[in-house]
Amino acid sequence: MPATLEQAEPNTVTPRSVFILRFVTTIVLWSIALLIAFSGFEVLFWLLISAFGLIALLEFYRMLDHKGLPNFKITGMICGAVMLGGSFYYFSKIGPAGSYDFEVAVLLFFLLTVFARQMFARLRHDEPLQTMAYTLFGLLYVLWLFNFITKIVYLTPRSSNGLLTGQFYVLYLIAVTKFSDMGAYLTGSAVGRHLMVPQISAKKTWEGFFGALGLALFSSLMLFKLMPGHLPGLTWTHATILGLLLGFAAVVGDLAESIIKRSTDVKDSGNLLPGIGGALDLVDSLLFTAPLLFFYLRLVIHVP
């Protein structure tokens, strides 16, 4: 999310109203997504997640356009749609193993497609290399990372009546990530004094960073207490470690997008969402927390 880890400012009226608008918009959007997930309409949930992912990818390519950086946005969008659709099919119908093979195949196909597309484009100095690199990076940074939310949904076994159970971990992921963003903003706005990475953002502070970790940890422990039977494999120890790890990853995700926005001279990735900006501004923290949670569940907790 943009504008987290804020440094304290004399005028708190405008930042507070902006924060409230962002908070309300975020709650409404993710509440709709989670309601769809818990309703059992798997295709509808996938369509919603895919729409956010593709819009975020398009915003990324438009940010490159704003700076005049070359990219094959149409090729990237088509390959991204294929990845999202195929991954959902394999995870929902066949299982994780088939999805991993499919993703590797898609990435290989995408690499070959980008090289083939470049053969019909002009060759001038290092522009072909830049075009391919920016296009590939967009797919990996936005869609490949964001697609881990779909993977988390299907990571845990279905119930005896065939219903999904992974949506509880998606709820856990979104809540901890967004509480981290909230903790960063509130703490940084209230007591932020020491700049964290001024070369990236003039508003991120160390106080906000520790506020993000604290609220992420608190939300992780509270969710574990409230949903003990719906988060298989999770213990108090895992909830503590994950709270800190996800809080840290959320901060890194926010800073990662700040690097991209500063490099392309844009304030927000778009203007789709009131008070937030674009879809990429909404999901930036999740791009890092979703894969971290997925691999923690797979490699540490050993969720089947």
For residue 5, tell me if it sits in a domain: no
For residue 23, tell me if it sits in a domain: yes
For residue 43, tell me if it sits in a domain: yes
Query: What would the pLDDT profile of 48-83 be if each residue is shown by its tens digit?
Result: 889 999 999 999 999 999 999 999 999 999 999 999
Query: What would the pLDDT profile of 243-280 be if each residue is shown by its tens digit?
Result: 999 999 999 999 999 999 999 999 888 777 766 678 89
Query: Rounded to an integer, what distance in angstroms lies between the CA atom of residue 184 and that of residue 36?
Result: 28
Instruction: Please state the domain count of the chain.
Output: 1
Query: Rounded to an integer, what distance in angstroms lies between the CA atom of residue 186 and that of residue 66?
Result: 31
Query: What would the pLDDT profile of 116-146 be if each residue is shown by its tens digit?
Result: 888 777 666 678 888 989 999 999 999 999 9
For residue 6, tell me if it sits in a domain: no
The three-class DSSP label of residue 273 is: strand
For residue 1, tell me if it sits in a domain: no
For residue 14, what pLDDT is reported?
A: 58
For residue 2, tell me if it sits in a domain: no
Nearest residue to 173 (alpha-carbon basis) of 23, 295, 255: 295
Query: Rounded to an integer, what distance in angstroms lies between the CA atom of residue 67 and that of residue 115?
Result: 23
For residue 205, tell me if it sits in a domain: yes
Q: Is the pLDDT of residue 12 over 80?
A: no
Query: What would the pLDDT profile of 92-117 be if each residue is shown by its tens digit?
Result: 887 776 677 888 888 898 889 888 88
Show the domain range for 198.
13-301
Per residue in 245-283, is it b (16+ CB within 10 Å) or e — as a string? bbbbbbbebbbbbbebbeebebebbbebbebbbbbbbbb
Q: Which residue has the tokens 């903790």?
A: 183
Q: Is the pLDDT of residue 211 over 50?
A: yes
For residue 197, tell me if it sits in a domain: yes
For residue 77, what pLDDT is reported?
A: 95
